[in-house]
Amino acid sequence: MVEVTEKLCSSALNRSGIPGMDYCLNPYTGCSHGCVYCYASFMKRFCGIDKRWGSFVQVKVNLPAKLAGQLRRVKAGSVMLSSVTDPYQPPEEKYQLTRKSLELLAGTGCSVSILTKSDLVLRDLDLLKALPDVEIGFTVTTTDKTKARLLEPGAAEPLRRFRVLARLAEAGLPTWVFIAPVIPGVTDSEKNLAQILKEAARAGAGRVEYDPLNFYPTAVANLKCLCRRYWPRSLAQFQAACNDQRTFKSQLRYIAKNLWPVYGF
């Protein structure tokens, strides 16, 4: 059961340290997708909630009003939706903070980049088509339905994400796929990566990017528990990557260099 509460925020649009993004916009604190590898769990220290990360969502109910005020003052730039939450997680269906934010961003000169694991983004197809500069990315870690349910229990099934991505691409919207994180011993096999690339190409994605696992202590602990219980043969490989992250990342770069072109990326 995910606890949903409301709160007020002091600002909506914040400066971003993500390359290529000027601002980040996070309508919610916390995320009901409950991804066990989530690096954003560090946000818990700002929540004042003594619950497991992934079991609560705080809704920034005054965010549209804050955003409207900020947009009158800030310089136009690129806006990321979102950096430490999913803008289309289940509470969005009721609160529509992401939709209201997109309505406000329309006509401002800002470009918008959306990253999600949710098929709810399709609800806003009309608005997305009206935005002059927008792209939609779907995060995918694996095409294995069972494995995905264990890694990201509250998110849409991977193939549902690809189906929605295809609908968006058919509507003429720029789309992409983010394989993130790539988890050593669990999702880093060439077979898994190739299957994601194949589905991405079939769905009309414009590009595919990847990001190695962020070896954040909480994420590492969560993944070790999963490995011990469900994929014990992967535990040694996972631990080896923890011990030698440079080699793990180097091996991924080698795979990407050779595999991505096979699928046109």
pLDDT (tens digit, 9 = 90+) per residue, 171-198? 999 999 999 999 999 999 999 999 999 9
Model confidence at 44: pLDDT above 80: no
* % residues pLDDT > 90 (the chain): 87
Q: What whole-number distance in Å separates Cα of residue 157 and Cα of residue 234? A: 23
Taking residues 93-104, what's their average pLDDT? 97
Model confidence at 128: pLDDT above 90: yes
Model confidence at 109: pLDDT above 90: no
Q: What 3-state class would DSSP assign to 122?
A: helix
Give me the pLDDT at residue 93, please.
96
Q: Are strands 23-25 and 78-81 parallel, antiparallel or unpaired?
A: parallel
Predicted confidence (pLDDT) per residue in 203-255, tens digit: 999 999 999 999 999 999 999 999 999 999 999 999 999 999 999 999 999 99
Give me the pLDDT at residue 49, please.
76
Q: What whole-number distance in Å separates Cα of residue 265 and Cα of residue 249? A: 19
Give me the pLDDT at residue 53, please.
80
Contacts of 95 (CB under 8 A, 6+ apart): 27, 59, 61
Contacts of 156 (CB under 8 A, 6+ apart): 117, 118, 119, 164
List the one residue out of 59, 1, 75, 72 whose CA is nearest residue 26.
59
The domain ranges of the chain are: 1-132
Q: Please, what CATH class does the domain formed by 1-132 belong to? A: alpha beta
234, 227 contact by CB (below 8 A): yes
